[in-house]
Structure 1
Amino acid sequence: MANTIDGERRRRELAETVWRLILRGGLPAASVRGVAEEAGLATGSVRHFFPSQAELHNFAMLELMATVTERVRAAAQTPDVRERARAMLEELLPFTDRTHAEFAAYLEFLDRSRIDTALEPVASESVRAARELVVTILTDLRTLGMLRPEIDVDTEAVRLHAFLDGLMLQLLVAPDLNSRQQARDALAGWLEALEVKA
């Protein structure tokens, strides 16, 4: 039992090491060798927990998904329904320096998953999880009578998800195109346009 706990703790420590490297130098910096050097371990010690770089990167992405999920859960505690929906969806966008680095690494991961099939399942799951969040938020707004009756939740989820992905890409690749505040305002405007008018 103690070995299992120690092993899980070491995996978490290595995941944190991966993210320190990613935040400094992007996904390429988080190689097995780079993680070993950063953690002060032999490469073989890292490979004991993550036999391949793909497994290491998959674990790091799963940790990122867990971090985003925690932030979404925290945002879900916002009392006002409109503010809650906006706050939850904002967690899918790079609005801080930390999340900017995280989402930049995430884009690198998605790109690499196109040619590395070992990464594809986690990449696909991350996109599905984002879509499910959008569907859940729209469904909740519909249940509360706040969504215009003619709006189809599934169709709108596709549109809103694509809009969020577009904003994320613009904020990462062309940050001078939209400020973070402009992106926040655009999201708020999109949600407002879905609401039942008094």
Structure 2
Amino acid sequence: MPKIVDPVARRRAVAQAVLAVVARRGLEHVSLRNVAEEAGLAIGSVRHYFTDRDELMIFTMRELSHRIEERVRLHAERLLDPGGCTDRRRSTEQLLAEFLPLDEIRREEAGLWHAFTALAHLRPDVRACAAEMQQAMHALVARVLHEAQGVGALPHAADIELESTRLTALLDGLTLQAALFPDRFPPELLQQVLRRHLDTLRSGE
């Protein structure tokens, strides 16, 4: 009886192999052959699920984003549940901290994400994918700030769109600096900067 292969699980396994190749050897070493070897598959099996390297790269970029979003979603559900959040400030900080490289997993993700976004400068299709994900992050931050404003945790006069842009830029900048210079930007400093920024939002500075 032939073995039944779950195509979704197989595509995700191949994407994980891409991430492993990028993390260990760099984006330039991603090829269907290298990925197949990493995944323990024949190259024909990889081609069965991905027509070319471009399709594989975009799918992998989305998988990386989904991995981060899944963690963020758990915090967001608790924070945005009117009856389920007892400490809004702490929950907000925990949610936003998921975008920062505070541990080994998130440091690796940050390095991988910046490798893909560097590719986006050269590839319109990858750029469109990156823009979509950036917009999703911005929308989540805007929703969190809007809810905070609604319960009086932010000044009524705060410009939510502007503050969402400022906060997402801060998170992106901290992540980039920590990915490049981890010794100069340890987790404690990243959390301190985020905490200070949230304080200024609340005070209206």
TM-score, length of structure 1 as denominator length: 0.89
* Structure 1 residues 165 and 114, CA gap change in structure 2 (3 angstroms): same
Are 1:159 and 2:166 an aligned pair? yes
Equivalent position to 1:189, from 196, 199, 204? 196
Equivalent position to 1:97, from 95, 99, 104? 104
| Offset of residue 21 of structure 1 | 2.6
Q: Which residue of 2 aligns with 1:147?
A: 154
Q: Secondary structure at the match of 2:124?
A: coil
Do 1:26 and 1:104's aligned partners in 2 also have CA atoms closer than 8 Å?
Answer: no
| Offset of residue 133 of structure 1 | 1.5
Are 1:174 and 2:181 an aligned pair? yes
Paired amino acid for 2:177: Q
Q: Which residue of 2 aligns with 1:45?
A: 45
* Aligned residue-pair number: 195
CA RMSD in angstroms, aligned pairs only: 2.0
Structure 2, unaligned stretches of length 5 or more?
80-84
Paired amino acid for 1:54: D
Paired amino acid for 2:113: Y
Per-residue Cα deviation, 1:118-154 (whole angstroms, up to 9, x for no partner): 3122111111111112111111111111002221101
Sequence identity percentage:
35
Q: Which residue of 2 aligns with 1:13?
A: 13
Are 1:137 and 2:157 an aligned pair? no
| Offset of residue 49 of structure 1 | 0.9
Are 1:24 and 2:24 an aligned pair? yes
| Offset of residue 4 of structure 1 | 9.7
Q: Secondary structure at the match of 2:64?
A: helix
| Offset of residue 54 of structure 1 | 1.6
* Structure 1 residues 49 and 186, CA gap change in structure 2 (3 angstroms): same
Q: Which residue of 2 aligns with 1:74?
A: 74
Query: C-alpha separation between the residues in 2 aligned to 1:74 and 1:62?
Result: 19
